Chain A
Amino acid sequence: MTDTTLNIEKVRGPWADVWAQFRKHKGAMAALVMLGTLAIFCLLGPLVWRIDPNFIESDTVKMFKMRNQGPSFAHPLGTDQLGRDMLARMMFGGRISLAVGTVAMLVAIFIGTTVGVMAGYFRRIDGLLMRLTDLFLALPLLPLLLVMIFLFRDPIAGVLGPRLGTFLLIVMAIGLTSWMQAARVVRGEVLALKEREFVLAARSIGTPSRRIITRHILPNVLSPVLVAATLGIAAAIITESVLSFLGLGFPPDFPTWGRLLYDGIAEIRTYPERVLWPGLAISLTVLSVNYIGDGLRDALDPRIRGR
């Protein structure tokens, strides 16, 4: 090696390495493609498949003929019990489900990580925050969600409009009731990490607490956070469908994957495909997110990277 190579090799950012390692993880790449396809299907599909998901034939006789059809060229996934096109409903439902899953997961992870790091790092507020976490864990979640939505749906819908209002309320409600596991796991990790010598070394350098947290603690609690996040997306999609099923989520004519699933369950014996499609979509989303999380965790850990 000559001197020029020594000088050329500048201190380079870590993201190039991360992406290089991520691409090596076959499962994660396949999952990324799968999730991308699902997202494109939901976001761009309606531009191609221009059938209104809520369109019901106004002529009663025609409507009855349209009901419960199997796959055909006019309706590739068939129609539901009111003669609405399933493909269009899947596309629109996916938008809501993916958005709710992602945003609610982000809210839960943000709260959970913040509480966990604060409780683990600052001994003084540890007791308070963990009792708060226990309190939330002890609450029966479904009744709590129902009460929250029952109380706040109309005021928020009045301010932000029914769609955005319901979306925000559901996302916040799910996020606010599912951060506890993440907080506990993160706190445990932080308690172990802050006794490690590199944190002590950072303190001896004079690094203030906030930068010790962002520079040394957070990158090292990434693995449990990512695991919690991938599980969180799945849980959020399911919780949203539960709420929709109970009539407290989005309005009944508003399709989401969870809603379609519950609508299909009533007739699972005669029309199993109507449960199959939304179920498959939810499963594929959860599976992809899991694999992506797995690949991301490996790619972000320099000890695994390059193996």
Chain B
Amino acid sequence: MPEPLVKVRDLKMHFPIHAGILRRKVGAVKAVDGVSFDIFEGETLGLVGESGCGKSTVGRALLRLYEPTSGSVVIGGEDIATLAPDALRKKRPTMQMVFQDPQASLNPRMTVAAIIGEPLDEHTDWDEAKKTERVYELMDQVGLNRRFANRYPHEFSGGQRQRIGIARALALNPRFIVCDEPIAALDVSIQAQVVNLLEDLQDRLGLTYLFISHDLSMVRHIADRVAVMYLGQIAELSPRDALYAAPLHPYAQALLSAVPEADPAVEATRQRIILKGDVPSPANPPKGCNFCTRCPKVIPLCREEKPRLSEVQPGRFVACHLVAANQDTAGGHASPGPEVREHNQQGELS
């Protein structure tokens, strides 16, 4: 197996809560609480989960737009999480980001040429002509008319703005791009264009993506492997086809059961797993498994001990006592209950 391009180990991102007259720290929002995964060169890792589960925080902590509380993020052999500011700045060209809201991610007072050229201004000592040439080249690459170079972001449609954002991310030939819900703010017809553009660029430039999204169908389309997050932790990380065919973690099952089917016959028989209750506060997560308060298959062990993310099948990582129990004890477990048995069968199908 090749060495992964991005190696994230036990990444934690806690935001302190200050309260009282003295603004003392009274706790922390555990937005990301011990996340580990690898991304291999040239692949797309999808990161899905519901709102507020820490997807975007992972993406931002990966590029050290936030200072991670602990853990390591090794990109191309260097630990981003502890790099000195100067070295980090030199490292920036290899990792870039495409943002969610193309309106907010472009400075309204800069022209397209200035926006796309900003990375070049910061990291190259090229003369104006060479920079302009590169800006035009990038605009061609993302399908923007060169004549738009002097226009301002408000003169563009959402899809075009996202293309500007992508061109800016590509300016320095990065190897790794974090796509933070790049299509969430776009119309469906435009979403397809932007996703196809991203795939096309990946083929041509050999890019590696972390694709953060809550659109499960889109992730199925673009990702090679998918990580499902719940409340700051990864519930399941599996190859795309295996995950969509048979999710192992109860939360992944519930999440994927919400994806509508295109075929009306299948759609009519689709069984939705409706979760009860609310997501616990990330400032005060449950003692055991983060999902134990809402899990339909909860067992007493879940409330006591946090499950670890472990490889239960080749390439499939799941953080669940039920799935792990199946592996460890091979049926010798004291009556896991009917739901669990059914669940295991599901897992073995894949």
Contact = CB atoms under 8 A, between A and B. Distances in A.
A301 B63 contact: no
A249 B122 CA distance: 49
A181 to B, nearest CB: 24
A5 B147 CA distance: 9
B111 A197 contact: no
B99 interface: yes
B148 to A, nearest CB: 10
Given A6-B146, A9-B149, A12-B150, A303 B108 contact: yes
Contacts of B119: 205-206
A260 B209 CA distance: 71
A11 B108 contact: no
Interface stretch (B68-76, B88-96, B282-290): B88-96
B97 interface: yes
**How large, as a class, is the contact surface on chain A?**
20 to 34
A5 B145 CA distance: 13
B150 A204 contact: no
A198 interface: yes
Interface in B95-141: 95-97, 99-101, 104-111, 113-114, 118-119, 122-123, 128, 132, 135
A10 B99 contact: no
Interface string A194-225: 00111011111111100100011001100000
A188 interface: no
Contacts of B270: none
A9 B147 contact: yes
A11 B107 contact: no
Contacts of A197: 99-101, 104-105
Nearest to A204: B97
**How large, as a class, is the contact surface on chain B?**
35 or more
Nearest to B165: A201
A11 B65 contact: no
B152 interface: yes
B100 A301 contact: no
Interface centre among A10, A198, A207, A220, by most chain B C-beta atoms within 10 angstroms, is A198
A252 interface: no
A205 B150 contact: no
Contacts of B99: 197, 200-201
Is chain B's binding surface mostly helix, strand, loop or mixed?
helix
B249 to A, nearest CB: 31
Interface string A155-197: 0000000000000000000000000000000000000000011
B97 A201 contact: yes
A205 B118 contact: yes
Contacts of B225: none
A302 interface: yes
A204 B63 contact: yes
A196 B92 contact: no
B92 A206 contact: yes
Nearest to A12: B150
A22 B145 CA distance: 28
Nearest to A306: B155
B154 interface: yes
A9 B108 contact: no
A5 B88 CA distance: 41
A220 B65 contact: no
23 contacts: A5-B147, A11-B111, A11-B114, A196-B104, A197-B99, A197-B104, A198-B106, A200-B60, A201-B97, A204-B95, A204-B97, A205-B168, A206-B90, A206-B122, A207-B122, A216-B107, A219-B107, A220-B109, A300-B109, A301-B108, A301-B109, A302-B109, A303-B154
Interface of B: 60, 63, 65, 88-90, 92-93, 95-97, 99-101, 104-111, 113-114, 118-119, 122-123, 128, 132, 135, 146-147, 149-150, 152, 154, 165, 168
Please give me the 10 A-B residue pairs with the lowest Cβ-Cβ distance, nearest first: A206-B92, A197-B105, A302-B152, A197-B104, A219-B109, A11-B113, A206-B89, A198-B107, A204-B97, A205-B119
Given A201-B105, A204-B95, A303-B154, 17 more contacts: A9-B150, A11-B113, A11-B132, A11-B150, A198-B104, A200-B99, A203-B65, A204-B96, A205-B92, A205-B118, A205-B168, A211-B122, A219-B109, A220-B109, A301-B109, A303-B108, A305-B152
